[in-house]
Each structure stands twice: as structure tokens, then as C-alpha cells.
Structure 1
Amino acid sequence: MSRIIYTHTDEAPMLATASFLPILEAFAGTAGIEVETRDISLAGRIVAAFSDLLPEEQREADALAELGKLATSPDANIIKLPNISASVPQLKAAIAELQGQGIDLPDYPDSPATDAEKDARSRYDAVKGSAVNPVLREGNSDRRAPQAVKNFAKTHPHRMGAWSADSGTSVATMGADDFRANEQSVVLEKDDVLSIVHVGADGSETVLKERIPVLAGEIVDSTVMSAKALDAFLAQQIAAAKEQGVLFSLHLKATMMKVSDPILFGRAVRAFFPEVFAQYGEQLEAAGLSPNNGLGGILSGLDALDADVAAGVREAIQKGLADGPALAMVNSDKGITNLHVPSDVIIDASMPAMIRTSGHMWGPDGEEADTLAVIPDSSYAGVYDVVIEDCKAGGAFDPTTMGTVPNVGLMAQKAEEYGSHDKTFEVAADGRIEVRDGSGIALMTQEVEAGDVFRACQAKDAPIRDWIQLAVRRSRESGMPAVFWLDESRAHDRNLIAKVEAQLEQEDTEGLDLRILSPIEATKHTLERVRRGEDTISVTGNVLRDYLTDLFPIMELGTSAKMLSVVPLMNGGGLFETGAGGSAPKHVQQLVEEDYLRWDSLGEFLALAESLRHLARTESNDRARVIADALDRATETLLNNDKSPQRKLGTIDNRGSHFYLALYWAQELAQQTEDAQLAEAFAPIAQEFGEKEEQIASELLAVQGKPADIGGYYRPDAEKTAKVMRPSATLNAIIDEISSAL
């Protein structure tokens, strides 16, 4: 029997799974396809990390490790839903919830001292941040807007805020003494084992990373961000925002860059509230209240301090808010600022949303305002700067006419910056950091000062070659020109350009328009084509892959959740990703308060169709192809009939969209002529769906407007969740009929 692995993840996608999975299982079963689930949720990964220490009845298998191994097999067919990329506050909240459910987990140790605490911290750190994607992504990324989705966006354009030539919105970045400016890069001539060593000013050595296995042809980089330069830059931008009368907003990715960016975030909190830390820094540190966890973490932990100290901290924070520039807000009504939680403002989602909304973010007064977008590292900040300046000159983009920008992204085997977590360090003392080869020779040397942030990362040769080949294949199949976004003035990119040029000489590129441009020039080139309605493939490294596959889809489609994301695994399997999850927390909150889930499962529908086609190709399962083609037609009907989740209570939500997909899917299968047995089996099901449409819709709408109990946030109760997400007995009965149709 054919097999699809459907991942159980977090937040709104996890809730949607409770509604959609029974439908998927029923339809897939008619093609002899078994759908299995694996729990790679944050809660599931936490429990798995400590299973050897837990009572036997609380232990759980490490599903992520299992899937990581499967991803290297040609038999892999994995549908991957969005995960929480856990910040420390989220991790602590998940731990507390699991402890409240009786799971015997230790607390997260902020300052581990004992061996047990150090062990616990090591296990939790392995779960923190985007721990899932690097394990599963044993292939490079192919992300694009499906034609049906693009057509729908053109005929039903989303709202784009107007831009003014005199907009005060701008981007600020360091440009010197940052990761980009200080980057060094080498290409390994042979297999080796590297190490990272700190050499103090007195000559003493501290091994930061003992073993980094590398392969011949691999690119290895090192770089450092100066803490002093960062502090000066942040102080300058806070003053500039105040002087210009615009909102101050910080844009990082403290989830994926789970070591470096929380540190940068913490320094921004310190810079914005200098008096708080000058006066109370020692007390806050003693209480474990780190600015790296955000202003919200400090405020929520003040009860642990002496009452007078806590009152003084609150007063100093209020003074800082009053004296500084207006802060961009995550939630103006609740007073949650841009600096409250590191994971609340993620650059790849926050910058496109700002660009889509006239260059505005929300201010403390609940009104939109021009914004100074502060992006400390200059590696990719220029991309957003070019887009903003283009909008000032040319106005907002028009979704009805603009071209599309698919992406081919280098990410396999933890490629590039997002694979740097275990090689990123906050420097403890002045000196230098060396990346040494197996014989002890320094390949790269960075002069450092205490507080600096050092980072090293890798990109293996085989994934790079696969990425280049995928770009050529996508350009040929689509007929679109492709641009490699690589900057010859950056050390890493120079090495990558040499590999691209050498590989392209071995490929059949006749008739293809392939070029290499720096990210800034590539942005300008692509935007010119976009405004003319022309399509261009962006071929990028790992971080830009993430940034651009939010930036362009949010402008084209209104959301990145509607992108088709295929990862052709290097050993022949398939990983099919279902879109972004950035707005998922708000959706969960609305479900709990109003029994209404706005999450759009379109990404799941698109990924599923590709997963079924992959099975059809690799296992000669022609019925899987018939079901996939019918699903695509059903999805297009869903869009055209406006049966995606709506915004207002009392209208169709996620569960309703699942029903209508099932209705249209059954109708398509009943009408298709390629598989007579399948058509005959689905004819009565499609008829029953149609006859009972009004009844099912009424049952789904009837539950809205009151609180819903799912028994938890990070690990809801399965029975309660199923009851909430499958409230139509009529629909459930028909789904059961499908399961026995063939």
C-alpha cells in the first residue's frame, strides 16, 4: 500500500488537521493510499527530548528523527505543515502547559549550574527555534504560486495600501562591522574535521566547537557582529526615529536565527531603555530577567523582585516609552510593542506586511504610521530598501497585472545561515576566534571583543549542485528567466558564484535566460519585470529563500500561505510544505473565544495534490493521479466560489472550507472519465453532499459565537479538539461512507 506521512504540528494548522485529516484519509484510501501521522509539534518534540528520563507511560518516540531518516530515502512522501519556531518565552509556556498535564519535565534553566541543569538546557536548546525544517529539508526548495491561485488573485485582488512619494518610511542597516562586512569564506579541498577556538588576549584557548565534519568542495564561512558597533547603530536609529516622528520597529528572525538574533533583540531592548538597565540591570540579571526574551518577559517576571525594585523598573520602562520614539506595536489594544517578544515580529512576514500597508505599522495610538524599519545586519536589508523606494516612486503594486516571482532556494542539508545555530556564540572575552582545520591550521580568523556575536555556517557541494540543476530545470519547464541573487562583494557569494558558473557550463542552458545579480540589482531587475507583468524565477540562498517567498507572494496573493512549496528530496523522495504559519496564534485565540477558525488550508490542498502526483509517478499509482487532478480542479472551484475561510463571525470558516472542498472533490471524481469505477463509487457520495449541503453548512455555522474548549494550546486534548473541529454529524457520516466506497 502507498503511504503519505502527514505531520501533526502546532497552533492553527494543528487544529485544521483535526478537521481535514479524516477527509484526506477517506479520499486517499480509495486509491489504496494509507495516511499516517507523525507528531513533530513543539510539545511532542519536548516530550521526545526527555523521554529517556520520563516514566514509561509518558515516553514518546522521536518522530522528527524518524522523519529525518525517512527524508533521505527514495520512499519519502511527507506533507509538512507549519511549526512553531520556538522562542524562549514560547518554549517556557509549552513546558509549563505540559507540566500542568502531568508530564514530569524539568523547568527551563536560564543559567544552568548543575550537570542536570546543563543537560536539560542542552535538550531544550535542541528543540528551540526552527528545529524541524533543517532536519527534514534533504532537498532544495521549489516555491511558486499555482496558476489557479494566481488567476484568482488577478480576478479577486487583495487590498494594497496606497503609497506616497513623500512617505517617511525607510530602512536602516549597519553596513559596517556587521555579519556581511566581516564575512570570510573558504572552500574545503578535502574531507576534514574543523574546530572553532577562542584565543584570549593572554593566549589562553577555549574550544567553542570541537568537531565540524566537512566534505571536499564544501563552503564554510565565519563572521562576527561588533557589539559596540551594534549598540551605537541602535542608539542612532532610536534618536533618528524620534527626530523624524516615525515609528521605531526592529526586524529580526529570532526563531530561525535562534542564537544570534535573540542577542541582537536583547541589545535593542537595552538601547531603547538605557536607564532601566543602568539602574536595575544587576537585579534583573540576578532574577533571570533577560532582555533577550523581550520587554514582555521582564514585565511578567517583576513579581520575583523586591516590590520597590519592581515598581522602579515599571516606572523606568514607562519613562523610556514616553521619552523615546513611538514604538511599532504588535497589539495596540493590549500595549504589546515591537520589543515585547522576540518571536512576535519576524522579518520575512513583518516587512512584506508593512510594504503591503502603505509602508505603515501600527502605533501606540492604534493608528497606522510611517516607520523606520531597523534591520541591523546589511546582508539582505537592501532588498527591502529597494522595494520601499520603488513603491515611493511607482506606487503600490497591482495584483491584477503584476508578474509572479517563483523561487528556487538553496537549503538542503542545513545550507547557509539557517544552519549556523550550533556554530554561533556570544563572545566572552577579547581576543580572536579561529576556524581551524584538522591539523590545527587557522583557515579563518576573526578579531573579537567581549559581547560580539560570532557565527560560522556551511553549505555542502552536493546540495549546491542540486540547487543549480533545479534552477535550470525550473527555468526550462516554466519558460521563465532565472536570476541567481548573489553578491560578488560578499565572501561567501564569491565562492558560490564560482560553483554556479562552473556547473552551468555542464548544463544544457541553450535558449535560457540565466543571469547572476547582486540582491540589490536583482531586486531592481525583478521589480521592473513585475510591474510589466513579467515573471522571473529568483534563485537564492537559504535566508533570501525565506524572505522572498513571503515578500512577493504577500504582494501578489495577499498571503504566502497560498504558495505551492515542493522540496524534491535529493535521494528521490518528496517533501511537500503547506505555507506560512505566522498568523496562526491569533487564529487559535479566536477559535477559543468564538469557536471560529480563520486558518486557510489552501496550502494543505496544494501540497496534497503534489504529494499524490509524486506517488503516482514513483509507484505507478494512476488512481492517485486521477484523485490529484480532481483535487486541483476542486481547489480552483473552491476559490472561484469564494468558499475559503472568511473574516467575520457567522460566515464560512476553516471547517466550512473543508466541507466545500470535499463536496467539489467528490463532484469532480464523479464526473471524471478516466476511472469508471472511481466515478461510479463517488456518484452517490457527490449527490448526497449536494442534497445535504444546506444542512451541513447550518451545522457548521451553528457552533460559532461561543467559547470553545480544546484543553490546551501547545498540546490540546485530542477528543475535545476533534469535537470542536468536527461539529457536523451529517458531514462526518458522509465521510465515513467514502471510507467504504471501494
Structure 2
Amino acid sequence: MAKIIYTLTDEAPFLATHSFLPVVEAFARTAGVDVETRDISLSGRIIAQFPERLTDEQRLDDALAELGELAKTPEANIIKLPNISASIPQLKAAIKELQGQGYDLPAYPDEPSTDEERDVRARYDRVKGSAVNPVLREGNSDRRAPLSVKNYARKHPHRMGAWSADSRTNVVTMGKDDFRSNEQSWIAPADDTLTIEFVAADGSTTVLKQSIPVLQGEVVDGTVLHVRALEAFLRDQIAAAQEQGVLFSVHLKATMMKVSDPIIFGHVIRAFFPTVFERFGADLAAAGLNPNDGLGSILAGLDSVPNGAEIKQAFADGLDAGPELAMVDSDKGITNLHVPSDVIVDASMPAMIRTSGHMWGPDGEEHDTLAVIPDSSYAGIYQAVIEDCRANGAFDPSTMGSVPNVGLMAQKAEEYGSHDKTFELPGDGKVRVVTSSGETLIEHDVEQGDIWRACQTKDVAIRDWVKLAVTRARATGSPAVFWLDETRAHDANLIGLVRTYLGDHDTDGLQIEVMAPEDAMRFSLERIRRGEDTISVTGNVLRDYLTDLFPIMELGTSAKMLSVVPLLGGGGLFETGAGGSAPKHVQQLVEQDYLRWDSLGEFLALAVSFEHLAGVTGNARAKVLADTLDRATGTFLDENKSPGRKIGTIDNRGSHFYLAKYWADELARQTEDAELAAAFQGLAAQLDEHESQIVDELNAVQGKPADIGGYYRPDTAKTNAVMRPSATLNEALAAL
């Protein structure tokens, strides 16, 4: 039987799966397609790391490792939902919840001192941050807004905040002494094995990472961010925000850049509260309260510190003395500095731009903001958008063009593959990358506390990226722009390779450009204001940033994007959109039994998954399912059956019912397969006849608390009961 793997992940997408997956399974069975699930949730990944400590009933296989191997094969057909890329506070919270549920898991050791603690730390380190995406993404990314979604957004434009020409919102970045400015890049002339070593000022050498295999043509980068320069930069920006009377905010990626960015986040907190750390730094360290974990973690831990009340008051005084902070939740006093994973640059900056360049202040009102993005690699793209909005006003979703993306991400490409090669330096000296023959390729002078990192980009991934860009340009007729800066070391090497590999393809009649990111942004913005489309061809980080930025401006959300990953091995990975809003949706469900999460990305991914399956296996019925689902999704959008904004309207569960109804209607009416049509006529008639009853049953539960038995590890039976409250719908699907 043909097979689709459906991933079980976290938060709102996980809850929505309990409602939508029964629909998928029932419809897929009619086409001889088996739908299997694999648990790659944060809690599932944690549990899989400690089988020897758990009972037979509690143990889980390492589903992520299994899917990583499957992704390299032609048989792969994986639907991947958004998952938690865990920061340290999230990881600790998940461990605590699992321990409370009876799982014998060790605590996360912040500073391991024994072999056992080091082993535990290593296992947890395999789980934290972006542990999932680098394993599954054995191909490059093709992300775009489907025509049906784009047309809907034009007919029903979302609200965009007005921009003022005198807006004081800006982005500030280091520009020197940072990762971008210190980058060195090298292309391997042959297969080799590299070593990263630290040579201290006294001449002693410590191996930081050994036996790093590289392949011929692979691009290897190394760079360092100097923390003394970072600290001076942060002090200046805190003072500037106060002087200008704007909110202070910092925008990092502490989930994907799980080693470097929490350290940077900790430096921001130290810079914002210098007096507190001068007076009480030793007390905080002795209590294990680390600013890298965020202000919220420190404040929560002060209750068990002897002079905790005094320190807490010092933090309160520091907040009063500094500039006003951008807020995550002003009602609850949660600031931009509370949790490193609360303000993620690729989600937070588009939200600011969409909201007139404002963030929320402590008073619960919107204000202009100084957005601090320390490393200058990509910060300039956001400033270019801000300057465009200041000059031309907000974008108009009813007329603006689109910026689809072709992203270089296969095989842990670029920065997002740097986790195991990122180090906070223990002293002054040099870090160097050397070949197996002892030749030094990359070398940096460093000081204690500096953050050094290396990353790799394989040649096969670069070749495939160029091919995919040409394919999309040919298919759409739109210009394709490689966002690469010749003044940056890594990009300069890529530009040479791109120009070489473009020669392997027929590019006659195509407009293919290479531009520095800020120039590419301005070029794309000019075109989308004219209603024209431009393909962005970018590296891994810009892929992440742009596939939130443009969809949020165009569609109001990045969850409605079609994200296809043609895997290098011939299979397919189909992603369902971003999960940045997932936590607040879970909170609303628990409080009000109302889930506002939009599963449109799942509908889009499922259709192309069926289509891919049909092409690979020759299963004609899978193609019928794909085509009818595509048409049903168009009807779903035209009839505006996405989750409502207020209790009393349909939520995520109601939207799944309507998708099932329209899909059954399309299958019953289609003429390609008479037997399949007959099989769905009964279901279509049932769902049509009982529409009001089903909607009433789904909506009747709203307005009171819902018990799902956990945040990171919800109880299956409780979650099923919450997410499938319509007996009429459940019986109709079971009878198919």
C-alpha cells in the first residue's frame, strides 16, 4: 500500500491534528493510501533519548532518526507540521512536565561536572533548538503562496497598520566585529577531514571539534562575534532608545541558533541591568540563574534565593531606570527580555512592520521601536522595508505582488547547521580550522567570551538550489534574484558557484539576477507595489526570514504558504506553514475550548503530497484525491470557512468539518473514477444534511475550560475528546 507519513508535533498544530487526521485517514483509505504517524514532538524526542530509564509502556522509538533516514530515499512522503524548536527554558519546562507525568527523566544539567551529567547534557542537546528541521530537510525549499490563497487575500485583504513618514522606528546592527564582518570562507578542493582548535595565549592547544568530514566542492565558513564590541554596542543602543523615547527591543533566533543566540540574549540582559549584575552577579551565578535563559527565568528563581526580594527589587528599579521595553504581554508584565524564545526575529519583525512599525509598550499601547539585531548579516533587509514604508506607506494586500522563495537548506546548509561547531571561548588566543595535513584554512584572534562558529554547505545542495531556481523561473516567468553580497566572504564564494552552475541550464529568456540582500529587498519591494512577482533565491536564514515577512504582509500569516521540499533522494517533504502563533492558541483552547489555529497549510501540503504519491507510484486515485482536495480548498476559502476570530463562530474543528464536506462533495461529483464517486456520495449527502447539527455540536463546547492533560505531552484520550466533540461527524467518517 502507498504510504504517507504524518508527523505529530507540538502545541496548536498537534491539537489540530487530532481533529483533522481522522478526516485524512478516512479519505486516504478509499484510494489505497495508508497514513502513518511518527511522533517528533519535543516531548517525544526527549522520551526517545532515555529508554533505559523508562517502562515498556513509556518508551518511544527515535522517530526523528527514522524519518531522517527515510528522507534520503525515493519512497519518502512526509507531511511535516510545525514543531517546537526548544530554547533552554522550554526544554526544562517540558522535562518538568514529563517528570510530573511519571517519566523518570534526569534534570537538565546546566554545568555538567561528571561523566553521567555530561552524557545527560549531550542527549538533551540533541533535542534542543532546531533539532528536527536539519534532519528532515534533505532537500532545498520551494515556498510560495498558492494562487487560490493569493486570490482570496486580494478579495479579502487583512488589516495593515498605517505608516507615518515621521515614524521613529528603526533597525540597528553592529556592522563590525560581528559574524558578518569577521567571516572567512573556503571551498574544499578535495575530500578531507577538518579540525577546529583553540590555541590559548600561553600556546596550549585544545581541540574544539575534530574529525569534521568535508566533500570536494563544499563551502566551509568560520567567523567570530567579539563580545566586548557587542557589549559596547548594546550599551549605546539602550541609551539611544531612552534618548529617542522609543521602545527598546532585541530580535534574535534563540531557537534555530541554539548556541550563539541565547548567549547574545544573556549579554543583552546584562547590558540592560548593569547595576544588578555588578551588585548581585555572584549571587545569581551561585543560584544557577543564568541571564541566557531570560529575565523571566531569573525572576522565577529568586524566590528560593536568600536575598531574592532585594535582587527582584533591583531588577524592578532597573526597568524603571532604562528605556521602556517592548512587551510580549503587557497585561502580564512579560517583556521582550523575559524568554529568549518569545521574540523570534523572523516572526517579530514582520509583525512590527505590519503594525505601523510599532510594538506594544508597558502601557498596553503601540509605540515606535528601536529594533536591535546585533549581527549585521541580514539586519539591513528589515531596515530597507521600514524605509520603504516610511516613504510609501503600508502595503496593500489587495494589489501587492508576491515574493516566493527558493531556499538553500539541504543537508544542514549554512548557519542553521552550525550548532555543533559553535563555541563560547574560554580565554584569549586563536581559533583555527586546519586540514588533515595541518594546513590552516581559517583563523581568528579571539578573546575570552567571544562566540565563534563554523558551518558547511555541500556542493550537491548548491547545485540543486540553482537548478530549482531555474525551474521555478521557467515555470512562472518571474525574475529570480539570488540574494548574495559579494562583499561577504561566504556569499562571494557562492556567487562564483552560482554563475558556474547556471551555465549547466537553459536560461534563455529568463531574468536571473544576483543582488546584495538590501538591494534585492528594494528591487522586490518596488515590484510588489506594482503587483509584480519576484522569486527570492536565498540561503537558509534568509529563507526563514522572507517566508515569514512577505506572507505576513501579503496574506496576514505565513501559515498559508505552500512549502514543498523536493528531497535530493527523490522523495518529498511537505511542510504546513509556520508555528509562531501556536502557543497563544493552546492557551485559548485550555481557557475557552476554542482553537483559532488555521490548518490551511495542512490542506495545501496534503494535496501536493497526494499528487507526489500519484506521480511516484502511479496511484490514479491519489491524483483524484489531490485534485479534488485542491478544488475543495478553493471553495473553503471562497466560503470563508477559516476559524473565526471570536467564540461562537467556527474554530479549527469547524473549519475541518467544512473542508471534509467540500472535499466529499468534489469526490462525489468528479467523473475520473465512478467507483470512488459512488463511495463518497453517501458521506457527502450526510454532511450536507447534518451540517447545522454538526456545527452546533462543535460550537456547543466553547466558552469553558478544556482539559487536555498537559502542554508538552497532552493526554491522547483527553485531547481526542476535546478535538472531536461532534458525534455526528465522527460517526459519518467512521462509516466511510
TM-score, scaled relative to structure 2: 1.00
Verify the 8 A CA contact 2:303 2:309 in the aligned structure 1. Answer: no
1:292-324 per-position Cα deviation (integer Å, ceiling 9, x unaligned): 000000001012210xx2112111111111010
Residue 56 of structure 1: how far off its partner (Å): 3.6
Shift of residue 441, structure 1, vs aligned partner: 1.6
Q: Which residue of 2 aligns with 1:328?
A: 326
2:90 and 2:644 map into 1 onto residues whose CA distance is 28
For residues 569 and 597 of structure 2, the distance between their equivalents in structure 1, rounded to whole angstroms, comes to 33
Q: 2:503 is paired with a residue of what secondary structure?
A: helix
1:316 maps to what in 2?
314
- Equivalent residues in 2 for 1:717-728, closer than 5 Å: 717-728=715-726
- Write the letter of the residue equivalent to 1:468: V
- 1: distance between equivalents of 2:595 and 2:464? 39
Distance 1:213 1:333 in 2: 51
- Paired with 2:290 and 2:405, the residues of 1 have a C-alpha distance of 38
Deviations 1:150-177 (A, max 9, x none): 0000000000000011001000000000
Please report how far the alpha carbon of residue 220 of structure 1 lies from its aligned counterpart in structure 2 after TM superposition: 0.2
Once the two structures are superposed, residues 313-348 of structure 1 have per-residue CA deviations (whole angstroms, 9 ceiling, x without a partner) of 111111111010000000000000000000000000
Flag structure 2 segments of 5+ consecutive residues without an equivalent: none
User: Structure 2: how far apart are the matches of 1:289 and 1:433?
Assistant: 29
Instruction: Tell me what 1:580 maps to.
Output: 578
In structure 2, what is the equivalent of residue 439 of structure 1?
A: 437
Q: Give the residue type in structure 2 aligned to 1:621.
A: N
In the alignment, what sits opposite 1:500? 498
Quote the residue 1:220 is aligned against. 220
Which residue is 2:5 aligned to? 5
Deviations 1:664-700 (CA, angstroms, capped at 9, x unpaired): 0000111111111111111121111110000000000
Report 1:342-421 matches (<5 A): 342-421=340-419
For residues 37-436 of structure 1, what are the structure 2 equivalents within 5 Å? 37-306=37-306, 309-436=307-434
- Of 204-213 and 63-72, deviating more is 204-213
Q: Deviations over 1:602-644 (max 9, x none)?
A: 0000000000000010000111111111111111111111110
1:58 Cα deviation (Å)? 2.6
Tell me how far 1:504 sits from its aligned partner: 0.6
- Look up the SS of the partner of 2:180 in the other structure: coil
Distance across 2 between alignment mates of 1:479 and 1:51: 52
Q: 1:564-589, CA deviations, whole angstroms, 9 ceiling, x for partnerless residues?
A: 00000001000000000011010000
* Contact persistence 2:141–2:409 (CA under 8 A): yes
Deviations 1:414-457 (A, max 9, x none): 00000000000001100000011111221100100001000100
Q: Quick one: distance in 2 between partners of 1:300 and 1:561?
A: 33
Could you report, residue by residue, the CA deviation over 1:122-141 in whole angstroms, capped at 9, with x for unpaired residues? Answer: 11111000100000000000
Indicate whether 1:657 and 2:658 are aligned.
no
Structure 1: which 4+ aligned runs deviate by more than 4 Å? none
Distance 1:88 1:211 in 2: 28
Name the CA distance, whole Å, in 2 between partners of 1:279 and 1:692.
68
Q: Distance in 1 between matches of 2:125 and 2:665?
A: 48
User: 5+ residue gaps in structure 1?
Assistant: none
Are the counterparts in 1 of residues 327 and 336 from structure 2 also a CA contact under 8 Å?
yes
Q: Does the 8 Å contact 2:137/2:573 carry over to 1?
A: yes
Aligned to 1:148, what secondary structure does the other structure show? helix
Alpha-carbon distance between aligned partners in 1 of 2:416 and 2:677, rounded to the nearest angstrom: 47
Q: Secondary structure at the match of 2:387?
A: helix
Q: Secondary structure at the match of 1:197?
A: strand
2-structure distance, mates of 1:193, 1:283:
44
Aligned equivalent of 2:702: 704
1:619 aligned partner = 617
Find the aligned partners of 2:345 and 2:656 in 1 and give their Cα distance.
Answer: 31
CA distance in 2, matches of 1:58, 1:609: 34
1:59 shift after superposition? 1.8
- The answer to whether structure 1 residue 551 and structure 2 residue 549 are counterparts is yes
Aligned to 1:482: 480
* In structure 1, distance between residues paired with 2:608 and 2:22: 19
Which residue does the alignment assign to 2:29?
Answer: 29
| C-alpha distance in structure 2 between counterparts of 1:231 and 1:373, whole Å | 16
The amino acid that maps onto 1:660 is Y
Separation (CA, whole Å) in 2 of partners of 1:618 and 1:276: 62
Partner of residue 531, structure 1: 529
Question: How far is 1:54 from its partner?
Answer: 3.1
SS in structure 1 of the partner of residue 735 of structure 2: helix
- Cα-to-partner distance string for 1:24-52 (whole Å, 9 max, x where unaligned): 00001110000000000000000101113
TM-score (norm 1): 0.99
Tell me, in whole angstroms, the C-alpha distance in 2 between the residues paired with 1:657 and 1:177: 50
Question: Structure 1 residues 113-122 or 386-395, which shifts more?
Answer: 113-122
Q: Output the CA distance in 2 between the equivalents of 1:534 and 1:587.
A: 34
Equivalent pair of 2:425/2:447 in contact (CA under 8 Å) = yes
Shift of 1:55: 3.7
The correspondence of residues 661-700 of structure 1 with structure 2, limited to 5 A, is 661-700=659-698
Aligned residues: 736
Separation in structure 1 between the aligned mates of residue 231 and residue 471 of structure 2, nearest angstrom: 45
CA distance in 1, matches of 2:96, 2:313: 29
The 2-side partners of 1:506 and 1:109 are apart by 51
Aligned-partner Cα distance in 2 for 1:208–1:537:
39
